[in-house]
Structure 1
Amino acid sequence: MVGKILITPKSYKNYKEDAHRLLKQQGYEIIENNLGRTMTETEIIEAAKEDVVGIIVGVDPLPSQVLSECKALRAISKYGVGMDNIDLKKAEELGIKVQNAVGTNAVSVAEHAIGLMFACSRHLFELVRDVKDFSWNRKIGFELTEKKLGVIGGGQIGREVAKRSVGIGMNVTIYDPYFKDGGFLEEYGIEKQDDLSLVLETSDLVTLHLPANEETKGLINKETLKLMKSTAVLINTSRGELVVESDLYEALVNEEIAFAAQDVYSSEPPKQGDPLIGLPNFLLTPHSGAYTHEAVKRMVMISTQNLVNLLNMKI
């Protein structure tokens, strides 16, 4: 046995047969997260403090302390794209190689974001709920066609959202200081804007596609929400930390913006009695944007192959 592999993502088991075969062919023993939830720091340390040479990690926390306690750890493969739950600086210091599964869930998350746009614009959640209560009350919505969409973050998911939104007739602007692909903008007729305030002020809908880091945490707060139209919709399928939830609550209650929909939250699941969850103009789904058969299958195989490559020094 050449070492153990800890696998933390809950959905990994759905397509694990081929992936497990690959790991076992390499001589690795597999440790699975069978808790039915995200692992805590203590649980990861307990599972990986000895003989675990590789971790395939979802959103489970891998801060500095955890990495330091995992004495045999040589490689981390991210199950997905965002790596803000991993202390990359500490990993580099310890000589632990890290790789994410680029492109595996971009389409699924993008489609989810657009689905939330339709859910907000046509009040789908409220209408379905009312009909199930045997009411027949219509609520007027609005078309997405010709509305202005501000895409905050022009990475793979942001691009997939942008080009699909163009396809349904929206006018799309990308805000991303690091975005340099002029050919993409030209191909899809998308504007790039370097002034975030202007994007927030002029957009009918704003969708967030950013990692959570020191630059982006709390990006949507009391001040930036006040810039938005009173009719605007905010979509967040990236990270809960991007939005100051207490400020969002006040903005929704005071009708400073019309609606918000998220697939992520600061505490997953939210705490009982959280006032934001109860608002009629706030919609939350359980971090399910990447939870499709297609994305899960891609993430399982690519994150597993990435880990094998890392451990074999091929990346």
Structure 2
Amino acid sequence: MPKYKVYLNEHIDEDALNTLQKYATVTNNLDELKDIDAMIIRAEKVSRSMIEESKKLKVIGKHGIGYDSIDIGAAKEHDVKVVYTPEANVQSVSELIIALMTNVVRNISLSFEKGKKGENKSIAPKELMGYQLNNKTLGLIGAGKIGLNTSKIAKHGFDMKIVVYDPFVTEQQCSQVGIEKVDRLEDLMMIADFVSVSVPLTKDTKHLINERALRFMKPHAVLINTSRGGVIDEKALYTFLAEKKLFAAASDVFEHEPPTSKNPLLSLDNFVATPHIGANTAEAMKLMGSTVVKEVITVLEGKTPNYRVV
């Protein structure tokens, strides 16, 4: 008989689920919150009321990096540990950043959509002319694991120059990996040909990329967001793209997900949207699943987890 009960309402890797079921009975019934010892979540939000209702709750496991969907304050107050998987999807998200950069700068999705409508009247049409990545400047907003891994791919794969804006890293840390730090966001926006956003959503980063920040970008520049939708002011971005003040943008994350045709950004030819697929690879899913299950079981067994938020 399993020792614990775990709330899980979303798909995780099958091997990870099998491991979890050796230790715990798994339920997706919210009516059983009062009896659960742990929660494992992906996109689902964990509210204060859910935490308060779960009288036996010891740990919440976040299947991923961003934990803004969890009421961390309530978890602290009720002595509930929160664990996550900060390294499991680094390569997956980094590769998507590069893919989105290449997609929008070479008009790949737009070329395909025009082809389906019979609108490509010649080979290499002038209106689909793009840019190369090599020898361009990639500006990273956030120098965490994903940002640094992306910089490695861009630098060694495309000969790109890397600049970073991150108040939490030092110039020495940046120079050790061959990237340049700037002290002001506007400096990065002016320098970069490509800007990639990789920061958590907090009160300080909400609409960090707003109308003022976008005004500093070059007209041929490209903006990529794989962090959280709220970091970018979508209305401001729409205006800049619609008025051709930016070459293009792509986002894997939105304030309201998944993105639908109701989002004005999706009506633009110079914008590419994906439905939060940054970590959606077989390899990342397997690693995130195994990591979050291991971390949750570690806490339930009274041991110290490797990746604890609180």
The TM-score with structure 1 as length reference comes to: 0.89
1:30 has 2:33 as partner: no
> 13, 18, 23: which is aligned to 1:21?
18
1:179 has 2:169 as partner: yes
1:117 has 2:101 as partner: yes
Going from structure 1 to structure 2, the CA distance change for 1:214 and 1:48 (only over 3 Å counts) comes to farther
Deviation at residue 69 of structure 1 after TM alignment: 2.1
Going from structure 1 to structure 2, the CA distance change for 1:304 and 1:136 (only over 3 Å counts) comes to farther
Which residue in 1 is equivalent to 2:133?
144
Task: Work out whether residues 7 and 31 of structure 1, in 8 Å CA contact, stay in contact via their aligned partners in 2.
Answer: yes
Deviation at residue 3 of structure 1 after TM alignment: 3.2
* Stretches (4+) displaced over 6 A: none
User: C-alpha separation between the residues in 2 aligned to 1:145 and 1:5?
Assistant: 48
Aligned partner of 1:63: which letter?
S
> 202, 205, 212: which is aligned to 2:194?
205
Mean CA deviation greater in 135-144 or 201-210? 135-144
Task: Work out whether residues 64 and 288 of structure 2, in 8 Å CA contact, stay in contact via their aligned partners in 1.
Answer: yes
Deviation at residue 90 of structure 1 after TM alignment: 1.2
Task: Work out whether residues 110 and 157 of structure 1, in 8 Å CA contact, stay in contact via their aligned partners in 2.
Answer: yes
Task: Work out whether residues 6 and 30 of structure 1, in 8 Å CA contact, stay in contact via their aligned partners in 2.
Answer: yes
Deviation at residue 212 of structure 1 after TM alignment: 0.2
The TM-score with structure 2 as length reference comes to: 0.91
User: C-alpha separation between the residues in 1 aligned to 2:176 and 2:210?
Assistant: 32
Aligned partner of 2:19: which letter?
L
Deviation at residue 305 of structure 1 after TM alignment: 0.4
Aligned partner of 1:151: which letter?
L
Task: Work out whether residues 16 and 286 of structure 2, in 8 Å CA contact, stay in contact via their aligned partners in 1.
Answer: no
Deviation at residue 273 of structure 1 after TM alignment: 2.5
Going from structure 1 to structure 2, the CA distance change for 1:181 and 1:84 (only over 3 Å counts) comes to farther
Query: Is the partner of 1:77 in helix, strand or coil?
Result: strand
1:108 has 2:92 as partner: yes
Task: Work out whether residues 9 and 79 of structure 1, in 8 Å CA contact, stay in contact via their aligned partners in 2.
Answer: no
1:108-166 Cα deviation digits (max 9, x unpaired): 00000110000011000011222334434431111111111100001111111111110
Task: Work out whether residues 97 and 196 of structure 2, in 8 Å CA contact, stay in contact via their aligned partners in 1.
Answer: yes
* Gaps in structure 1 of 5+ consecutive residues: 33-43
Task: Work out whether residues 3 and 51 of structure 1, in 8 Å CA contact, stay in contact via their aligned partners in 2.
Answer: no
> 126, 137, 160: which is aligned to 2:149?
160
1:31-56 Cα deviation digits (max 9, x unpaired): 24xxxxxxxxxxx7x24522111111
Which residue in 2 is equivalent to 1:41?
none
Task: Work out whether residues 106 and 160 of structure 1, in 8 Å CA contact, stay in contact via their aligned partners in 2.
Answer: yes
User: C-alpha separation between the residues in 2 aligned to 1:122 and 1:47?
Assistant: 50
Aligned partner of 1:64: which letter?
R
Which residue in 1 is equivalent to 2:235?
246
The size of the alignment, in residue pairs, is 297
Which of 1 and 2 has higher RCO (CA within 8 Å, sep 6+)? 2
